[in-house]
A and B are shown apart, each in its own frame.
Chain A
Amino acid sequence: MFDLVLKNGRVIDPAHGVDATTDLAIRDGRVAALGAGLAGAEGIDCTGLVVCPGLIDLHVHLRDPGQEWKEDLLSGAQAAAAGGFTTLCCMPNTVPTNDTGAITRDLVERAVAIPVHLRPVGAISRGLAGKELAEIGEMVSAGAVAISDDGCGVQDGHLMRHAMEYARPFKIPVIIHPQDDTLFGHGVMNEGWRATELGLAGIPAAAEEAQIDRDIRLSALTGTRLHVAHLSTAGGVELVRRAQAAGVAVSAEATPHHLLLTDADMPAYDTHWKMSPPLRGAADRAALVAALADGTIQAIATDHAPHAPQEKELPFDDAPFGVIGLETCLGVVLALVRDGRISLADLLHRLTAGPARILGLATGHLAVGAVADLCCFDPQAPWRVEPERFYSKSRNSPWAGQELTGRPLHTILAGRIVCRDGTVVEGR
């Protein structure tokens, strides 16, 4: 007798090439069996649903500690559960910065009470100031799975080299937010016709590519794994692809917004479309989608970046960068499958086994004995994005009011149902 059986769903486990309509049974918080006619204390009919490993987002901002008016651990975790995510990696640009073992430990300890596995990312540099290394070893001991100065590019190449060398024995990847500040300047959106037409300062692709190039060379030099966050340009894709072909240990992620939207689509001065890196052109988007399909990009990450309405209501120049994405991610990226750009199994790989592998996590697959983190979604369900119904505290979504197809219904975290029929049932 199992604890919980997901009945008759289309079970897709990209890590093991499984795609079969069958039952999946859970016992003691772990995947116990796959097969027909399994019986459990509780059963959920998953007919017509896809059952896959719980989604892993290796790049979110939970704003906790310090900016809890935007988001906190609980609201972020509930947004994750509603979006089908069971693991989040929270970036260190909090207040204070997660640059010490104490802050990392505080996050890990408080995360016991939230409906998601939290794997913090520690800072590369103290206070993200790019001057001196943060206490990388202490943070790793406390549970950090990677280091990053996300939100800032590390301007000092020498410090970056040291960060990569120093991180190597800890066997964690260094995640870069590639941004040369001198090229980024005061830019607020992609450099190009749309920025010119709107009279807004542009951000050239070179601002991102220059640091990707530098850090690929530093990865080759130091032997430390490099992970490029939110790749946005065709040139960046090419740099990563060539480095991988040359055997450099570099991985990359793309966000749902960069995979689906371009600067030309942006409604004039809509700050819910302002993020860094910015939405690029159609050729960049096509290159990202192709790279996602061919495996150059191993992960989809939302870069969930909550900001309060009053912060986003400022003029475009003054509003902060960032959009939220946990609750819309799956519905957004499933469009790539319908458009024939990528198979469903490969897409789910980039949301599960792909990020798990980058971070060395044991989850993201459905082998018997694996932790029972699961996402059950209806790939055909149409729904309308209503930000006022988000679990997130923030509303800054470029998909507000849009119709999406494909919606997470049940999310199971280590065998516990944390979201049922689209309603989060934990932490309320």
Chain B
Amino acid sequence: MGDEVMVTQEEKMASTIEPHGAKGLPFAHTDLLDTAELTGAEISFLLDQSEAFFEINKRQVKKVPTLRGVTIMDCFFEPSTRTRSSFELAGKRLSADVINFSAAGSSLKKGESLRDTARTLAAMGTDLIVVRHPAAGAAASLAEELAVPVINAGDGCHAHPTQALLDLFTLRRAFGRLEGLKVAIIGDIAHSRVARSNLLAMRTLGMETRICAPPTLLPAAVERYGCSVFHHLPSAIAGVDAIMMLRIQRERASSGAFPSLREYARNYCLTRAHLALAAPHCVILHPGPINRGVEIASDVADSPRSLILDQVTAGVAVRMAILYVLWQQGSGQ
């Protein structure tokens, strides 16, 4: 009976997902390391694929047999709850066998060369590898060593492409388009892989980006992302279509980046009063977890303008699409 359900789902899949041969896929990568390497067409392709899975995720039975027999290793070398669960759910909904290789805090986190880590993973014979690592560049280093597709689930302050893609997916669903949208990203840009991956993708897609933070939370030469730079929140969000708030790490205050969370919140916490300055249809994004009262007021986080939970929902679909596309690339199917 279980098989019958699967077959039915597979047929439905066929109607919603366009079949592509490996060579026919409008996607030229065997790994997903950053949005920097993606063309606008490739981003659109991934978002289109995500739509199909998004529809599937609305069904009562959400599991499809697409990756049956495929093993996915989710390797998390730093703590993560959301992203790890999202990837695990995505893999399981595709009927893949999902193994968690959590090494945060263990001897693997530091001291083992990435080459040895890669060899260990390769020796286990998995088909897809999802990796989160505290060191920038770790995913790229592993990908260089590994024949199977590697998906970067966050490497240091460098990149978090699946988060950027789910943010874009959420925005595209809200507006029906991406080109020309004005987006303000507010908060700790300096330490944010989410901001970096979004800024790169948004520039590729012809979106207008603004960033806003105290100068201590901006990286050097940040304007080279093609964004305009603000330090005053009301100016940054004037007329924008979307506001993306970033989580403020509490330890940034003790490192001297700003005097106190209180003062940060007074200048950079997004409140209901601010929303009047943005476009009337403006939506709010946040990669989570949110600090209520620090970067975002509680009522704003819970308002109808907030798409924060839609992002979480979208994340599963987008990651299903990414797993599916990369597996096709890697297996040549």
Contacts and interface: CB of A to CB of B under 8 A. Distances in A.
B159 A315 contact: no
B139 to A, nearest CB: 10
Contacts, number: 68
Interface stretch (A157-165, A196-204, A398-406): A196-204
B221 A200 contact: no
B113 A317 contact: no
Interface in A157-200: 191-193, 195-200
B121 interface: no
Interface string B218-260: 0111101000000000000000000000000000000000000
B193 interface: yes
Nearest to A201: B157
B157 A200 contact: yes
B171 to A, nearest CB: 23
Contact of A191 (B155, B159, B220, B224): B220
A315 B220 contact: no
A310 B135 contact: no
Interface of A is mostly: loop
B137 to A, nearest CB: 3
A133 B243 CA distance: 56
Contacts of B138: 315
Contacts of A198: 136-137, 158
A192 B221 contact: yes
Given A314-B111, A314-B113, A314-B114, A196 B220 contact: yes
Nearest to B115: A313
A315 B141 CA distance: 8
Nearest to B110: A318
Q: What's the interface size class on B, roughly?
A: 20 to 34
B63 interface: no
Contact of A192 (B114, B140, B220): B220
A196 B222 contact: yes
B135 A317 contact: yes
Interface in A273-313: 310, 313
Residue among B110, B115, B134, B221 having the largest count of chain A Cβ atoms under 10 Å: B221
23 contacts: A191-B220, A192-B220, A193-B221, A195-B220, A196-B196, A196-B221, A197-B196, A199-B137, A199-B159, A202-B219, A202-B220, A268-B137, A269-B137, A269-B140, A313-B115, A313-B116, A315-B133, A315-B135, A315-B136, A315-B137, A316-B136, A317-B135, A317-B156
Contacts of B136: 198-200, 269, 315-317
Contact of A199 (B115, B193, B220): B193
Given A191-B220, A200-B137, A269-B140, 5 more contacts: A196-B224, A199-B155, A268-B137, A315-B141, A317-B156
A250 B3 CA distance: 81
Nearest to B223: A193
A193 B138 CA distance: 19
A206 to B, nearest CB: 12
Contacts of A269: 136-137, 140-141
User: Closest 6 CB pairs between A and B?
Assistant: A199-B158, A315-B135, A269-B137, A313-B113, A193-B221, A199-B157
A194 to B, nearest CB: 9
Contacts of B115: 313
Contact of A310 (B113, B140, B196): B113
Contacts of B222: 196
Contacts of A192: 220-221
B9 to A, nearest CB: 39
Contacts of B193: 199
Nearest to A195: B220
Contacts of B111: 314, 318
A314 B110 CA distance: 8
Contacts of A316: 135-137
Contacts of A317: 134-136, 156
Interface residues of A, number: 20
Interface in A192-220: 192-193, 195-202
B156 A313 contact: no
A57 B222 CA distance: 39
Residue among A196, A201, A317, A318 having the largest count of chain B Cβ atoms under 10 Å: A196
Contact of A196 (B135, B141, B219): B219
Contacts of A195: 219-220
A349 B219 CA distance: 41
Contacts of A315: 114, 133, 135-138, 141
Interface string B156-191: 111100000000000000000000000000000000
B140 A268 contact: yes
A202 B110 CA distance: 21
A313 B114 contact: yes
Interface string A88-122: 00000000000000000000000000000000000
Contacts of A193: 220-221, 224
Contacts of B110: 314, 318
A233 to B, nearest CB: 14
Contacts of B220: 191-193, 195-196, 202
A315 B144 CA distance: 13
A241 B78 CA distance: 47
Nearest to B112: A314
A191 B111 CA distance: 25
A412 B95 CA distance: 70
Contacts of B137: 198-200, 268-269, 315-316
A238 B11 CA distance: 72
B224 to A, nearest CB: 5
A195 B157 CA distance: 10
Interface string A308-346: 001001111110000000000000000000000000000
B72 to A, nearest CB: 23
A15 to B, nearest CB: 43
Interface string B117-160: 00000000000000001111110110000000000000111110
B55 to A, nearest CB: 34
A215 B135 CA distance: 35
A245 B111 CA distance: 48
Interface string B196-234: 100000000000000000000001111010000000000
Contacts of B134: 317
A367 to B, nearest CB: 50
Contact of A318 (B116, B135, B224): B135
A34 B158 CA distance: 60
Nearest to A199: B158
A201 B116 CA distance: 25
Contacts of A318: 110-111, 135
A201 B221 CA distance: 13
B272 to A, nearest CB: 33
Interface string B95-111: 00000000000000011
Interface string A113-151: 000000000000000000000000000000000000000
B27 to A, nearest CB: 21
